[in-house]
A = this chain, B = another copy of it.
Amino acid sequence: MNNHTALVIKSALDNWNIQIGRVNKLLDELTDEQLLKEVAPGRNRGIYLLGHLTTVHDKMLPLLNFEKQMFPQLENIFLDSPDKKIENIPSAKELRILWKQVNDNLAFHFNNLKQDEWFQKHNSVSETDFEKEPHRNRLNVVLNRTNHLAYHYGQMIFLRTI
């Protein structure tokens, strides 16, 4: 009966993997040139959103207490600055590789986590706060970041020609 927790962890990871799979499929369809276009007039370019998602996912590694961020140099470009502010950004070709590396690394850690470990605190909540708010755990980070991914995927899809 109380396999409920295992079921919901599976659901959370399934939903994460569905979104990652959709973005990967879209990236396979888009050329590097298409990624250089704005998703809508005056909005972020595809390449910026790809870099932004890569950075946010990279930061999940320390946030979930897995390991250090792989590419801290991306943070200034894709998190602290808006698009088109910084001139020298990584190429689409390069970002496609980093995106894959970060997500593969997350998948590795996700797959090694035991059920109870999903309910340990994430790294940006204090021990004291976590005692009062035990929902601020690793699994909640995955749910939250899945929505973040879906949000930007909804924008990147506009790079597809109509």
Contacts and interface: CB of A to CB of B under 8 A. Distances in A.
B43 A147 contact: no
Tally of this chain's copies: 2
Interface string A132-159: 0011010110011011101111110010
A15 interface: yes
Given A5-B2, A5-B5, A40-B41, A11 B150 contact: no
A143 B7 CA distance: 13
A14 interface: yes
A35 interface: no
A119 B11 contact: no
A162 interface: yes
Interface in A23-80: 39-43
Given A15-B140, A147-B147, 14 more contacts: A2-B2, A2-B5, A8-B12, A11-B135, A11-B143, A12-B143, A14-B140, A42-B162, A43-B162, A143-B143, A143-B146, A150-B154, A151-B154, A155-B158
